[in-house]
Structure 1
Amino acid sequence: MANWDLFREMDSLRREMENAFRGFGAARLLEPAFLPGMGVRPFPRINLREDADNYYVEALVPGVNADQLEMTLQKGSLTLSGERKEVEGEEQAKVWHRRERGFGAFLRTIELPGEVDADKVQAAYHDGILRVTLPKQEAAKPKKITVQVG
């Protein structure tokens, strides 16, 4: 019982149920459309990459106004939060036949692979994609070491 984890067990059960219903077309019933914070399908979806000088985070946040986005950088973690508003008129619909696009508040924390120079971080938002450039601290950059012969 020392290594028992409730969330890991719940996730394992969810995967088993998805596999059981996969061939019957019912697996979509088990997928949440939108889960803020901690959930099965984290939102926003991100890409995290790096080169010699920077880390780059690209987050898909369609339908979110730039003024609704908030970012914080603390101890090697980048946290994105905000809110995707419901489209006007949707709340009045009597019957939904399919509802895959969610709304509401969200929070996503991304662990960065190294230390970042917080004073030089830049972010740009265009067409529903948030692009964040996080310059590495000098200590995190790769160092070339010359080998002495002789």
Structure 2
Amino acid sequence: MNLIKRNGNQIPGFQRRFFDDVFGRELFNWENNNFSTTSTTLPSVNIKETSDNYEVEVAAPGLDKNDFKVSLDGSLLTISSEKENQQVSEEENFTRREFSYQSFQRSFELPKNVVDEDKISARYENGLLYLSIPKKEEAKQKPPRMIEIA
């Protein structure tokens, strides 16, 4: 006869991890990790560095260019948006009001003494916010040069 030790009402480790994994996710979108700590969605951001600048793309469909605020405080670039919708329909016996509010804020630390702050530009097109952040001339990558051996 073998003795089996029982842990009372505790769930064994592999089962606990399974339940935490299954019930800790969004019901219909298990692989979506694009949530903030407050369970609100954040737009996806692509950042690409070229020899002349940094290019930032923010996916924010359904917004208008006037919904965005882009600010630079020292080397901290902040992109934020607020949009409020209100629909009111009045009929004979009732009034229906629907409200929606969405907002987000993303901040990025830019490299110090590399960015030409006065030449940063932004445009919104087809659901994407594009930012072009030029590098200072001295920070741009120079092409390789041959050094003569004396």
1:20 matched residue in structure 2:
21
Instruction: Measure, in 1, the Cα distance between the counterparts of 2:34 and 2:119.
Output: 35
Select 2:108's aligned residue among 107, 110, 116.
Answer: 110
How many residue pairs end up in the alignment? 121
Gapped regions of structure 1 (runs ≥ 5): 1-15, 94-101
Structure ranking higher in helix proportion: 1
1:75 matched residue in structure 2:
74
Q: Which has the larger radius of gyration?
A: 2
Amino acid at match of 1:27: R
2:83 matched residue in structure 1:
84
Gapped regions of structure 2 (runs ≥ 5): 1-16, 89-95
What RMSD in Å do the two structures reach over aligned CA positions? 3.5
Contact 1:53 1:136 in 2 (8 A): yes
TM-score (ref. length: structure 1):
0.62
Instruction: Measure, in 2, the Cα distance between the counterparts of 1:21 and 1:121.
Output: 44
Instruction: Measure, in 2, the Cα distance between the counterparts of 1:47 and 1:57.
Output: 6
1:144 to partner: Cα distance: 4.0
Specify which structure has the bigger relative contact order, considering alpha-carbon pairs within 8 angstroms and separated by 6 or more residues: 1
TM-score (ref. length: structure 2):
0.62
| Percent of aligned positions that are identical | 30
